[in-house]
Structure 1
């Protein structure tokens, strides 16, 4: 129980930092008049690189092979990028909601999805049964 609590607290902290990286890059790119789709994709890239290393080292303390783990991490996060861009399209283009507010709305789904993917698909302990 204590290890799970530490993991969740660490994940929340890293998630907040990752979200800040994502939002800051997105906001700056919007301010220089970058299209929201391009801004979101670039901010995703920076956030994914930060999130991988922070999750590997501080949250899941993974000792797994970096090539396999990083490729899985990027691939699964890419799936959430597609969902996020689709949701942003709906909010921004179809519903005419401001891009920064739309990004906040979409983040709830993205953050939850990313935790589940990290916990059970990417950073799972090798040789340990996860149900």
Structure 2
């Protein structure tokens, strides 16, 4: 436990804790995506497009909850604020899905890079894009100004 706390303190001191937690939950999001895909595609024998769509929805929902609560510590006061925040998150994830598909097309079909290498490259782009979208546009820290008496 001491090593863990020392590790956390070090990352916080270097302003890397948020990125570490984001990457940790991003890894779990990837696991959710793969497990749900396998459940529907291999387990239930559904087609890959349907299985992939369901796994994307499950992973986006998982990512929203984990990013909101544990990564960015976002607080919303009303259901409307939550809905706006989720809508922004969803739009950003759709944009990054487009980035993923577009990058894959360019790398595989136009530049003839292998599928696996292309997927690794695009995942780096997508992770960075999703972090920036989440940090800058979605889970903005709300600053509370206290009035001085």
Among 69, 72, 80, the residue aligned to 1:60:
72
1:26-69 Cα deviation digits (max 9, x unpaired): 4566655734x555443322211100000001111100321110
How far is 1:81 from its partner? 1.1
Q: For the structure 1 residues 85 and 30, does the alpha-carbon distance in structure 2 shift closer, same or farther, using more than 3 Å as the test?
A: farther
Q: Give 2:25's aligned residue.
A: 14
Structure exhibiting the larger radius of gyration computed from Cα positions: 2
Matches within 5 A, 1:95-114: 95=112, 97-98=114-115, 102-114=118-130
Note the aligned Cα RMSD (angstroms).
Answer: 3.1
Q: Give 1:123's aligned residue.
A: 139
| Structure 1 segments unaligned to the other structure (5+ residues) | none
3-state SS of paired residue (1:124) = coil
| Structure 2 segments unaligned to the other structure (5+ residues) | 1-10, 145-149
Runs ≥4 in structure 1, deviation > 6 angstroms?
A: none
Q: For the structure 1 residues 115 and 61, does the alpha-carbon distance in structure 2 shift closer, same or farther, using more than 3 Å as the test?
A: same
1:73-125 Cα deviation digits (max 9, x unpaired): 00111111122223334456664845x66544421111111001001110011
Count the aligned residue pairs. 126
Structure 1 residues 72-81 or 15-24, which shifts more? Answer: 15-24
Higher relative contact order (CA 8 A, sep 6+): 1
